[in-house]
Structure 1
Amino acid sequence: MFKNYIKIAWRNLIKNKAYSTINIGGLALGMAVTLIIGLWMQDELSHNSYFTSKDKIAQVFQSQTFNGETGTGPAIPRPLEKALREGYGDNFKHLIMATWTNDRYLKYKETSISRSGNYMQEAAPELFNLEIIKGEKDGLREINSIMLSESTAKTLFGSEEPIGKVVVVNSQYNLMVSSVYKDIPFNNTFNDTEFIIPWEQYLTANEWARNAEDNWGNNSYQMFVQIADNANMEQVNAKIKDVKKTLNEDSAEFNPQLVLFPMKDWHLRSDFENGKQVGGRIKYVWLFGIIGVFILLLACINFMNLSTARSEKRGKEVGIRKSIGSQRGQLIYQFLSESFLVVMFAYVLAIVLVLLSINGFNDLARKEIAFPWSFPAFWAISLLFILITALMAGSYPALYLSSFKPVDVLKGTFKVGKYAGLPRKILVVLQFTVSVAFIIGTVIVMQQINYAKNRPVGYDKQGLIQVPVMSQDFIGKFELMRSEFIGSGAVSQMSASSAPTTAVWSNYNGYTWEGKPEGFQEDFAWANVSPEFASSLNLKIMAGRDFSREFATDSNAVLINETAVKYMGLANPVGKYLKDSNEEDPNEPLKIIGVVKDMIVQSPYEPVKQAVYAYDKDDNASYYNMRLNPNRSAGENLKVIERVFKEHFPNIPFQYDFVDQEYGKKFAAEERIGTLSGIFTALAILISCLGLFGLTSFVAEQRTKEIGVRKVLGASVFNVWNMLSKDFLKLVLVSCFIAVPIAYFVMNGWLQEYPYRVILKWWIFVLAIAGAMLVTVLTVSFQAIKAARANPVKSLRTE
């Protein structure tokens, strides 16, 4: 019996090629989008799946309250390690201290490369379940050792055996390769950790870190833990919550609270607000999941509409089959088998579309998703997906067509009824409601991105590059290099700074000033800079003056930004002093000599933070900031800069970043979401238009004789076009009026997450309505005009 159902279904598909093409094409598009979104969601949800103990691993965060606002982050002080080991050691299987992931220069013989990595304690390889390819599993046991990722070892040593070889790090110390571990896969934390060096080596090389063993105020480190096998994450969290506040009375005013932030939440639920976890990327997973469901629904609606629209053509078939004994259940199975066949063809085509587009999607979404050919679970889910889609698309047509009465159909007295087209109209309205809402949402997302992009950054980022200076070789050579680079003609101005132009690396407190309110808890973004910092960035001085090498007293001077002036409540800040509130060992007061324009250093969607720029007395910068000669091409300037760089640092790779490109990365996540939303919106509109095109074709075919009579009686092409188009335009207009308030409510809620946000304008909604109407007109007009221009003689010849 099933074989016969499939035969009949196949004959119907072959007989109605245009109808079948629209149905299969629309479903294939919808299923392809749903498949890609499903693969993307699976990749997001499986983040950190490389780490087998991820449910037991956590990073120690701390929350601190400044002036009523609680901030939560991963920076912790060194004494916390001792406190947790001695007081709560039974609750942890592993506890490791670590630095931040930073670039270092690695050199072997004549090969010198820059790679990112960490200093970690000995238990790190076991905690993170690193797969050791060569060497020792406990590769951090010896202080002068280094563990390398497989790709880093291959770059450094080629075909040579790496174990036992000596690598020079930052021209500072020699380390022996103890282990090579398999590269951590892309969709995992630490995938950019290409080397690991023992924590003890870090303490040996950095006196300030070594001396911070009892300094609770220096939050410069990270801590990762694996809780004991018999322990519960929430219970351990409750135990250690107030450790810092209990052991360090000086920090009590900031109400520090420790938080065990579990690895399973690192990627998708990393946002904190006032000390509480409030979500993160998980909202995008839900967003795209909903989009995928809606797009598949649009494709299924096309199938339903076209199937029910052709009901009269299938009526006689139903009547004959019922008259010779077919039961309604058999007819339902028949129509569902047709639906299943269409969905099967569509799914095969969808897989082809996914394979053709997955590389482009990976580039766009910054992913490394591979099609899961070898996963049985994927094919099991695919079969379920096909069955559900077939039921969604075919259930209503099957129930509707199988309900026809054979006597009425065969007598020719069957009429579809006054309200028979109502379900189709509702489905068309639903299709375009979704499409118009997508249009509005995409426009608002792109507007928000452009709004932030067009926000004044406070300095001139064009023609500005930053060069990292990580090696000991750079210490004490800034003046020489500045003279060399400017003298080469490739650089018009150059400065040094302790942080990149596009990030805050240090936050300071513990300062007082004239008029500081009692109990005010200050928090400044802090950077040490050379005197040329403002001039190299074209950073405008709003009050006072810039640093000058002519004034020896400027070594104890600072510049502050406009936000800091308001934050400190100073009417005339120039000449005022920042004084160290540490009574036991106070530093010299810092004189405010100038106010600079606010620079956007952190998120362009957030308010600018109060910042202090201090004179760098120690020539211990992390970056050189170079203003390229505007009279030469960037490529020519960079060649000269690299040549000069290599003359002085032949063993160090020349690296640089254009500041405007680094600033542009701040928009990357939102731009990806906007671009993907735009693509999905276009596909949703295309799928809706395919259905509309098919319905218009059917209506034109159904009313062929009516059109012929109207033409004979003098109707113009416009009259016929208007007759066929107006009903569809009314439906789309209804869709627009439903979509507008829904889109406004959803997008207005989304915008509330951004302190700096675009104001929703009425023209966005008018533009979306006009766009939907235009697309409808273009879609309907092709068939309408074709029908209007047909020769009426042909349609009336049989009468």
Structure 2
Amino acid sequence: MLATILKSVVRQIRRHPLYVGLNVFGLALGIGVFLTLALLVRYEYGFNAGLPDGDRLARVDAHWTLPGVAPGEYASSSFHALPFMLQDFPEIEAAVRLRGTGLRVVRDGAFVALDSYQTDPSFFRVFGLKLLHGVADRALAQPDGLVLSDRAAIRLFGTTDVMGRVVPLNRGGVTVNHVVTGVLASRTTPDFLSGVELLAPIPSSELGFSCFVSWGSDCGSVYLKLRRPGDIAALNARMRDFVIRHAAGADNDANAIGQHPEKVFGLSLMPLREARFRDFHVLYADDGVDRAVIDGIGLMGVLALALACANAVNLATARAGLRAREVAIRKTLGAARRVLFVQFMGEAMLLAACAGVLGLVLCEMLVPALASLTGEALAVRYGLVGGLLPLIVIVCGFASGVYPAMVLSGYRPAAVLAATRMPSGGRGAARLRDGLVAGQFGIAVTIVICMLVINHQTAFMRSADPGYTRAGLLIGSAMPGGDLAAQRRLLDALRTVPGVAAASFGELAPSPDNKTRSTYRYDGPAGPVRVHLLQDTVSTRYFDVYRPRLLAGRWFDAARGQDDLPLPAEQASHTVSAILNRVAVSRFGFASPDAAIGKGLDTDGLHARIIGVIDDVRFESPRQAIYPEIMFFDTLAKRPLMEPIPAVRFEGVVPSEMARRLNRAWVGVLPDAAGEFSAVDVKMAAYYTGDERRGRIFTLGAAAALLIACLGLYGLAAFAAARRMHEVGIRKTLGATGRQVVVLLLADFLRPVALACVLACPVAWMLMRRWLAGFDERIALTPAHFLIAVAGAFAIAILTVLGQTFHLARAEPARALRAE
């Protein structure tokens, strides 16, 4: 039987190479796309799963419910909580603090940026990472110790044999020598520590910072290793009592939260194995991914495979009529239906196996491209592929072969040999073919609409008005320390750079790191209103640099002494001028921006009077709601700003040259501190790149789905060309013109495409409406997205069948009637 199957396949390749080629290529494309996307989905679902004892690892998250803003969960918490947790919860086996830093390696007089963190010596006890060189228990025990990744060691020294090497680390303009005490071994499993290049101990000099001693402040994350996986849920159930017990204190206690901390503050444990998807809804989590998008990508892979199987069925049924007489003769000679069924199923399995091999080749080609698109360390995992591929081949072979085998083996010899025309399979077969084409195009059109909406939303996020003028604006690094004289010198140096129109400082900027928030009270007619406000302090010329839109009142004026922020000791006796954004005005309940002018706000002994209202300025992700904000003014006459961020408005110079000039001016004032000026789009890129990359995946998926659908439609057209030649000959003999024949045939071919579009539009509308709801700023879901996809589907379908249609319409009646 195997020899018969092989001979039959070879004969089909010789007689109908186009059919067989389309069948194998369509299946291979579906298998290749499915395997590639399955690897991506496995990567996302396996994130953090490779960490030793990963089911016992958890991150401590903070929950804040503050007046005037929506409750939020934050991927960080106060380090002050850790000693109390170790005291109260014996379920904790080990714990570690981890904070991202601005550490730079000083190498040959230049600053080398590495993905660096400060942590505790217990780091390796918690995460269990292996060292290529060094002893894990002692690697971070000494204050000047340093652990490098193998990649960072090669980057800095050209080798991983770097134990004992001295590495100068610069932070905030201060350089301290550290000694390499360990080298991290490379890992193949994805987790949130995959990008770590440098680990250093937390300096004892920083243990007095507010995030170490205050419940209301944080500067990093706390990770716990529990004794048993079930301890995570047990600790979560006791966290409210823990907060009440330890975070309570008098209202004037700077380290406590208040007499009833549980009303505004909470802690919870986030299991690391679940963090990849849950972090998508956690504020300031770097690794969060929308589970719905990943599931959509996985579903797209499954649909691509289903489309390929449907395409194979379509092509096989279209070719079945060509083998009807072969089947009739073999049955006349005594072949049983069961034997014929096994033979045709074997042919389908053999073609599916060939497609599987070709699909694996396509997967090898697509995975590197997908890794480049997503920025993830994707690779072909043959453990997964080796298990999936045989199953895929069997499923595809069975799905694509069972119906054609049933049709072919069921032909009645007498009816076939007595007929002058080859059988068509009846109305059932025709409806199946139309249904398969409608299903293929329905799936393809749905994916295309989703792709258009995702790409439109991503482009909108990049180009949406952020509330300030981005063109001609460069943002620098946060200036370390609080040296008032140095801040003045840097501003003066920047303002004298050729091409600079204005320069200013602000404590907030696009993609800010440090944020100060306080609750302000407004005593209105209906009683006091409290709103938690994000605070920014700006210097002179800020309005000229950022050019925010003033909605009411006026901007700060250096000539007005009351606008300048006084020294902390003087704040209680002064009324400070302040500017609010539109969101803050709304949260305080003012009827309009004009209604807020002149009103007073109070917080912790500070009295502020609203002198102006600006439109909302977006410095963070478009997914996040804009935070209510208050701005103060500092002329740098009395006091420095807290780690101010310089910004420059420039004219007449290309951005790259302007950045080079500004960086040189920075070095002239702060030669010992790393600083770099860049455009707003560079600063904000992290908020957009993930959606952009996944939008490209949907684009590729849409292209693959359309291609497979077109192969199915081409098979239907080819079948019609063989089946309807006689009909066309009769029509033309009776006077039908070529145009009439073309219109008739196109109408028949496009009917399932029209049905597909009708079915696809409501499905895509529901999916994209739900996806867009995750953005604070989003596009409108207009009919244009659907019309473009539908028009494109019709255009591609027409182009696919046009050749066969013209071939039929131009056939000479006499030849067409002789053809059968």
Q: TM-score scaled by structure 1?
A: 0.91
Whether contact under 8 Å (2:146, 2:199) holds in the other structure is yes
Quote the offset at 1:60 in angstroms.
Answer: 0.5
Q: Distance in 2 between matches of 1:130 and 1:459?
A: 45
Residue 446 (structure 1) aligned with residue 467 (structure 2): no
Residue 31 (structure 1) aligned with residue 49 (structure 2): no
The 5-angstrom pairing of residues 33-432 of structure 1 reads 33-67=33-67, 69-88=70-89, 90-99=90-99, 101-107=100-106, 110-137=109-136, 138-158=138-158, 161-170=162-171, 171-172=173-174, 173-183=176-186, 187-199=190-202, 201=203, 203-205=204-206, 207-209=208-210, 214-229=213-228, 232-249=231-248, 250=258, 251-252=260-261, 254-272=263-281, 281-372=290-381, 375-412=382-419, 415=423, 416-432=425-441
Residue 741 (structure 1) aligned with residue 744 (structure 2): no
The 5-angstrom pairing of residues 418-567 of structure 1 reads 418-469=427-478, 471=480, 476-503=485-512, 505-515=514-524, 522-553=531-562, 554-556=564-566, 557=576, 558-567=578-587
- Deviation per residue, 1:265-284 (Å, 9 max, x gap): 1212224489xxxx952212
Quote the offset at 1:521 in angstroms.
Answer: 5.0
1:718 is matched with which residue? Answer: 739
Q: Distance in 1 between matches of 2:777 and 2:339?
A: 61
Whether contact under 8 Å (1:19, 1:306) holds in the other structure is yes
Q: Distance in 1 between matches of 2:125 and 2:184?
A: 12
SS of 1:346 mapped into structure 2 = helix
SS of 1:55 mapped into structure 2 = helix
- Over 3 Å counting, the alpha-carbon distance change for 1:484 and 1:231 in structure 2 is same
Q: Once the two structures are aligned, what percentage of the paired residues are identical?
A: 24
Quote the offset at 1:788 in angstroms.
Answer: 2.0
Q: Distance in 2 between matches of 1:671 and 1:109?
A: 37
- Deviation per residue, 1:280-337 (Å, 9 max, x gap): 5221221112111112111111211121123222222222333333333322221111
- Over 3 Å counting, the alpha-carbon distance change for 1:420 and 1:350 in structure 2 is closer
Whether contact under 8 Å (1:57, 1:226) holds in the other structure is yes
2:631 is matched with which residue? Answer: 613
- Over 3 Å counting, the alpha-carbon distance change for 1:321 and 1:518 in structure 2 is farther
Q: Distance in 1 between matches of 2:480 and 2:457?
A: 40
SS of 1:555 mapped into structure 2 = coil
SS of 1:489 mapped into structure 2 = coil
Structure 1: unaligned runs, 5 residues or longer: none
Q: Distance in 2 between matches of 1:81 and 1:284?
A: 35
Quick one: which amino acid aligns to residue 545 of structure 1?
R
Whether contact under 8 Å (2:212, 2:218) holds in the other structure is no
- Deviation per residue, 1:337-356 (Å, 9 max, x gap): 11122222222222333333
Q: Distance in 2 between matches of 1:349 and 1:370?
A: 18
Whether contact under 8 Å (2:510, 2:620) holds in the other structure is no
Quote the offset at 1:230 in angstroms.
Answer: 7.4
Quote the offset at 1:233 in angstroms.
Answer: 1.9
The 5-angstrom pairing of residues 663-742 of structure 1 reads 663-742=684-763
Q: Distance in 2 between matches of 1:389 and 1:475?
A: 72
Q: Distance in 2 between matches of 1:589 and 1:114?
A: 42
Quote the offset at 1:611 in angstroms.
Answer: 0.9
- Counterpart pick for 1:579 among 586, 602, 606: 602
Whether contact under 8 Å (1:508, 1:525) holds in the other structure is yes
- Deviation per residue, 1:450-484 (Å, 9 max, x gap): 44445321101122222214655977412112211
- Compute the RMSD of aligned alpha carbons: 2.9
Quick one: which amino acid aligns to residue 142 of structure 1?
Q
- Deviation per residue, 1:16-51 (Å, 9 max, x gap): 111112112222222221121111112112212441
Q: Distance in 1 between matches of 2:595 and 2:669?
A: 45
Quote the offset at 1:518 in angstroms.
Answer: 5.8
Q: Distance in 2 between matches of 1:523 and 1:184?
A: 43
- Over 3 Å counting, the alpha-carbon distance change for 1:342 and 1:184 in structure 2 is closer
Q: Distance in 2 between matches of 1:432 and 1:576?
A: 61
Quick one: which amino acid aligns to residue 180 of structure 2?
V
- Over 3 Å counting, the alpha-carbon distance change for 1:420 and 1:165 in structure 2 is closer
Quote the offset at 1:449 in angstroms.
Answer: 3.3
Whether contact under 8 Å (1:132, 1:181) holds in the other structure is yes
- Over 3 Å counting, the alpha-carbon distance change for 1:651 and 1:602 in structure 2 is closer
Q: Distance in 2 between matches of 1:370 and 1:635?
A: 35
- Deviation per residue, 1:545-564 (Å, 9 max, x gap): 33344445412443321221
Q: Distance in 1 between matches of 2:135 and 2:507?
A: 37
- Over 3 Å counting, the alpha-carbon distance change for 1:316 and 1:237 in structure 2 is same
Q: Distance in 1 between matches of 2:780 and 2:819?
A: 62
Q: Distance in 2 between matches of 1:542 and 1:721?
A: 62
Quote the offset at 1:718 in angstroms.
Answer: 1.0
Whether contact under 8 Å (2:481, 2:643) holds in the other structure is no
Whether contact under 8 Å (1:478, 1:619) holds in the other structure is yes
Q: Distance in 2 between matches of 1:628 and 1:268?
A: 39
Whether contact under 8 Å (1:500, 1:623) holds in the other structure is no
Quick one: which amino acid aligns to residue 686 of structure 1?
L
Q: Distance in 2 between matches of 1:356 and 1:95?
A: 43
SS of 2:115 mapped into structure 1 = strand
Q: Distance in 2 between matches of 1:271 and 1:24?
A: 40
Q: Distance in 2 between matches of 1:143 and 1:260?
A: 29
SS of 1:523 mapped into structure 2 = strand
Q: Distance in 2 between matches of 1:136 and 1:418?
A: 75
- Over 3 Å counting, the alpha-carbon distance change for 1:463 and 1:185 in structure 2 is farther
SS of 1:589 mapped into structure 2 = strand
- Over 3 Å counting, the alpha-carbon distance change for 1:2 and 1:521 in structure 2 is farther
Q: Distance in 2 between matches of 1:119 and 1:57?
A: 19
SS of 1:627 mapped into structure 2 = strand
1:782 is matched with which residue? Answer: 803
Quote the offset at 1:621 in angstroms.
Answer: 4.6
Quote the offset at 1:132 in angstroms.
Answer: 1.6
Quick one: which amino acid aligns to residue 702 of structure 1?
R
Q: Distance in 1 between matches of 2:625 and 2:267?
A: 26
Structure 2: unaligned runs, 5 residues or longer: 249-257, 567-575
Whether contact under 8 Å (2:30, 2:307) holds in the other structure is yes
Q: TM-score scaled by structure 2?
A: 0.88
Whether contact under 8 Å (1:536, 1:625) holds in the other structure is no
- Over 3 Å counting, the alpha-carbon distance change for 1:419 and 1:569 in structure 2 is closer
- Over 3 Å counting, the alpha-carbon distance change for 1:514 and 1:328 in structure 2 is same
Whether contact under 8 Å (2:520, 2:530) holds in the other structure is no
- Deviation per residue, 1:429-461 (Å, 9 max, x gap): 211221222232223333433444453211011
Quote the offset at 1:531 in angstroms.
Answer: 3.2
Whether contact under 8 Å (1:496, 1:625) holds in the other structure is yes
Give the number of aligned pairs.
782
